[in-house]
A = this chain, B = another copy of it.
Amino acid sequence: MGKQVSISVIRRLPRYYRFLGELLRGGVHRISSRELSGKMGLTASQIRQDLNCFGGFGQQGYGYNVEALFHEIGRILGMDQNYKTILVGVGNLGRAVANHMTFDGRGYRLVGLFDNNPDILGETVRGLPIRPVDELEQFCIEEKPDVAILCTPREATKEVVNRLVALGVRGFWNYSPHYDIALNHPGVAVENVHLGDSLMTLCYKVKDLDDPEGDRG
């Protein structure tokens, strides 16, 4: 019944999770919203508001139990899930993502890799063979993956997404800026990682540091 939790709140959860994990490793057992607000650069009010979207995890006069809260937030984020995940596009970026990220125990399990480059077919990354994109249908009908990571080049993304949505994939971790999945498939979950956009934003910020207001003055 409680109303839909806003995306702003959701996006802060991983950061809470990180800070609490750090505290936990540092042997801190309890923390107040005030202390945590100091460490994270937020207001104590916001922290309490955020957490109370999901339940009353604290105790008056005491604060929050670090370990309990850490696990609660993990559970809220779905770290206890086990979403079967495939990666499409095993170039520079796809390879780095596959090798660099922890999937196991963080809600995901990597089960398949796909690429069209004949030179790398059969090669293994993280113990998984790279398969031709042609085999997507066969593989997905058998394995029923939940999530796809997209590191596909310009022209491939749109078609791959359409095929995957038809095959029941309902979450996309999308590195390809060339096709707006959320716009075209309103029913699926999408997280875009648009590195180019981020780099441009940084460029603006640096410029703004040097010359606030720019030409406008």
Contact = CB atoms under 8 A, between A and B. Distances in A.
A216 to B, nearest CB: 6
A206 interface: yes
Interface centre among A11, A13, A92 (most CB of B within 10 A): A92
Nearest to A197: B14
Nearest to A194: B14
A97 B195 contact: yes
Nearest to A211: B78
Interface string A82-106: 0100000001110111011110001
Contacts of A28: none
B76 A214 contact: yes
Interface in A56-70: none
A35 interface: no
Contacts of A198: 173, 191, 193
B101 A203 contact: no
Interface in A171-196: 171-173, 177, 180, 182-183, 187-191, 193-196
Contacts of A173: 198-199, 202
Contact of A99 (B92, B100, B208): B92
Interface centre among A77, A193, A195, A200 (most CB of B within 10 A): A200
Contact of A204 (B13, B102, B206): B13
A147 interface: yes
Interface centre among A2, A95, A202 (most CB of B within 10 A): A202
A55 interface: yes
A14 B77 contact: no
Given A76-B214, A78-B204, 9 more contacts: A2-B213, A10-B201, A14-B196, A77-B200, A79-B200, A95-B96, A108-B199, A171-B202, A191-B205
